[in-house]
Amino acid sequence: MPSRFFITGTDTGVGKTVVSAMLCAALDAFYWKPIQTGAREGTDRRTVMRLAGIAKARTFPEVYLFDPPVSPHLAAQWAGVRIDLRRIVLPAISRDDNLIAEGAGGAFVPVNRRQLMTDVMKRVKLPVILVARTALGTINHTLLSLAALRSAKLDVRAVIMVGKPNEDNRKAIERYGSVSVAGTLPMLARLSRASLVRTWRTRLDRMLFADE
C-alpha cells in the first residue's frame, strides 16, 4: 500500500506546509491542497513545489481557491459560493503513488455553514498527521486537536512538532494524548529539499510513515 496522509495542524501558521513539503520530498509524494485561502499572498502548492523541489506535474490544482487570508467558510461567503464537499475527490493517481494532502487551518475550521475541516478529512479517508508547535501552550492545543480528530473517528497516525525541541512537551503530548510524536522539525537556517530530507532522515521516526 502507498503512503498517503492528510496534514492538519493545531492552528494556522503552525508549519503544516513545511511539513507537507518535507513529506513530499522524503516520500516522493504527490501534493494536493483541496481548499486554499490567502492566495493573494501565494499558494501553499507553489511553496511546496519550491521547498520540496517537485515539478508542477507532481501537484494537483486546488478544488477551491480564494484570495482573502480568512477561514474557508468566510472566504467562500465573500466570493458568493458554497464549498461543496462532494466536489472534493481524491486525485486519480496510480495505486502505488504516495500522496500528501494538506488542510486549511486546524481541525475545526468551518468550510461552510454546517461542515468543518474534519468533514473534509472524513471525505478523503486518509490517515491524519497533526502538526503542532513545540512552544508553551502546545500541550493544550494539541490535546484539544487530538480530541477533535478522534471525535470525528479519524485515524490519527502521529504528531509532528515544529520549533525548538522540547522533550517535556513531547512526552506530555505522547502520554496524555495517547499518540506517537514522530519527531521535531526544527527551525532550519535554510529551507530546501536537501535540508528537509536530511531532517526527515535524522529527526523523525520513519516507521510511523511506513506502508500498511
**pLDDT the model gives residue 211:** 60
Query: Count of domains in the chain?
Result: 1
Q: Alpha-carbon distance 171 to 54, whole Å?
A: 34
**pLDDT the model gives residue 212:** 54
Query: Could you tell me if residue 83 is inside a domain?
Result: yes
**CATH code of residue 117:** 3.40.50.300
- What is the residue range of 176's domain? 4-207
Catalytic residue set:
33
Query: Could you tell me if residue 113 is inside a domain?
Result: yes
Q: What is the pLDDT along the chain (212 residues), one digit of tens a residue?
A: 679 999 999 998 999 999 999 999 999 999 999 999 999 989 999 999 999 999 999 999 999 999 999 999 999 999 999 999 999 999 999 999 999 999 999 999 999 999 999 999 999 999 999 999 999 999 999 999 999 999 999 999 999 999 999 999 999 999 999 999 999 999 988 999 999 999 999 999 988 887 65
Residue ranges of E strands in 27-94: 30-32, 35-36, 59-60, 64-65
Q: Alpha-carbon distance 62 to 42, whole Å?
A: 13
Query: Could you tell me if residue 200 is inside a domain?
Result: yes
